[in-house]
Amino acid sequence: MGQYWDLEKDLTGGGKLGEFFFTNHSHLYDSLRIPRLPKDLDMWLSRGSAAVQPGPMGKLSTEVLDMVFERHILHTLISRHARAADCRLVCLGWYAYPPDQAPPGMLTAAELEEIATTPDPDEHSCESVEKAIARRCLYLFAGENYAYAHMAYWRLFEPFRKTVDELWHLRRQDPAKMDAFYSALDLRMITKLGGVGSWAPGLEYAEGPRVLCNTSKGEYVREDALVGWDMEYWRVTLAHALLARVCYSPDDSISMCCGEEYKDGLVKGPWAGDRFRIISMDEMPVLKGGKRWRDVTGEVNELLCHLLEGEFPEEYCKKEAAEKEDVEKEACQQKDSEKDGEKVNGGGGIAGGEVGEGSEAK
């Protein structure tokens, strides 16, 4: 039958690993991607009304206050939109029971104690109290006590949605009056920071090649070097790269084609329980202790290609054949270019010799 897997309560949809691994994981991707401050922020700050602060904050300069305000906005944007960034992530298998219920070292002593002392609603069906206590684990604890990701997002953004909807209805009733109201309230700022509503221009992110950073181990995966694979409703992204390295279970049932030489690395992923974020390569932070970032894109690609070949054999063969043809065509073009270069250089040498001989004769 195979076990069920889940990543952070609904970030991936959950189910048998082979059923959801190669699907659209845009929600997981976005929850790891760090936004940046909007370019319009300086304009918003300059247009805001001034108010004298009676407390100690009022003694700070405008520049310092703006910096504090910007930091607060950025922190809020990250906490609302990049909900999974810098959190411990693991795609946990259903059969992960104590003493192997989580990656080694992931859970603190306090967390282990909380899991061990929290009864499960289904424990009444167990044969004995001892067996009921023995089955308490992170997978069941998370299923009962963690909120579904989409519900958490809904609660966070519901106030923004209501505000945008109300303003939209008011504008339909009296456009002239509401246009003036928008200028004061700056609906653009609300929708941009909230990232909601039909008028929301969307969040802003740093430009440049994106990377998935494992901030716990100092390793990263480059998006522009990932295996190219586009299906009708999804493509391979950094979310799949993450999923390929954060699964964990003592049982290797995954309901997908995977060779034995790869299976252990998949079901006990080297990144399970670590912390991550998706940023541009220029934003990669300096590691502590003089450590250098390690690029593991090649390792991830090797596993993803193996899994793709097993799950989509016909499509994978066509892709390999097309890539081989492109490589051969490029090699032929390079060879022809080199031949043309030799002809040009050879002709130039002869002409130069003739000029030299003519010069000596003179």
Label residue 268 exposed, middle or buried (CB < 10 Å: 0-12, 13-18, 19+).
middle
pLDDT at 285: 93
Span 8-27, average pLDDT? 78
Number of domain units in the chain: 2
For residue range 127-173, what is the model confidence (pLDDT) as tens digits? Answer: 888 888 888 999 999 888 887 766 777 777 777 777 777 777 877 88
Indicate if 343 and 251 belong to the same structural domain.
Answer: no
Indicate if 339 and 194 belong to the same structural domain.
Answer: no
44 token code pair: 């918003």
pLDDT at 298: 96
**45-54, 155-164, 216-225, 313-322: least confident range:** 45-54
pLDDT at 1: 55
Q: CA 137, 5, 311 angle in degrees (round to 5)?
A: 155
Indicate if 169 and 221 belong to the same structural domain.
Answer: yes
In a domain, 47, yes or no: no
Q: Which helix (H) or strand (E) holds 225?
A: none
Residue 39 pLDDT exceeds 90: no
pLDDT above 90 as % of the chain:
40
In a domain, 46, yes or no: no
Indicate if 126 and 240 belong to the same structural domain.
Answer: yes
pLDDT at 356: 42
134 vs 355: CA distance, rounded Å = 94
Indicate if 348 and 258 belong to the same structural domain.
Answer: no
pLDDT band, residue 43 (cuts 50/70/90): confident
Indicate if 216 and 341 belong to the same structural domain.
Answer: no
Contacts of 302 (CB under 8 A, 6+ apart): none
pLDDT at 267: 95
Residue 197 pLDDT exceeds 70: no
Contacts of 77 (CB under 8 A, 6+ apart): 35, 37, 193, 203
Indicate if 335 and 285 belong to the same structural domain.
Answer: no
In a domain, 51, yes or no: no
99 token code pair: 């003493």
Indicate if 334 and 360 belong to the same structural domain.
Answer: yes
Indicate if 328 and 239 belong to the same structural domain.
Answer: no
pLDDT at 69: 74
In a domain, 104, yes or no: yes
Residue 187 pLDDT exceeds 50: yes
Range of the domain at 331: 320-362
pLDDT above 70 as % of the chain:
80
In a domain, 41, yes or no: no
In a domain, 353, yes or no: yes
Residue 355 pLDDT exceeds 80: no
162 vs 70: CA distance, rounded Å = 25
In a domain, 352, yes or no: yes
In a domain, 100, yes or no: yes
Indicate if 283 and 142 belong to the same structural domain.
Answer: yes
Indicate if 299 and 191 belong to the same structural domain.
Answer: yes
Indicate if 100 and 204 belong to the same structural domain.
Answer: yes
pLDDT at 246: 96
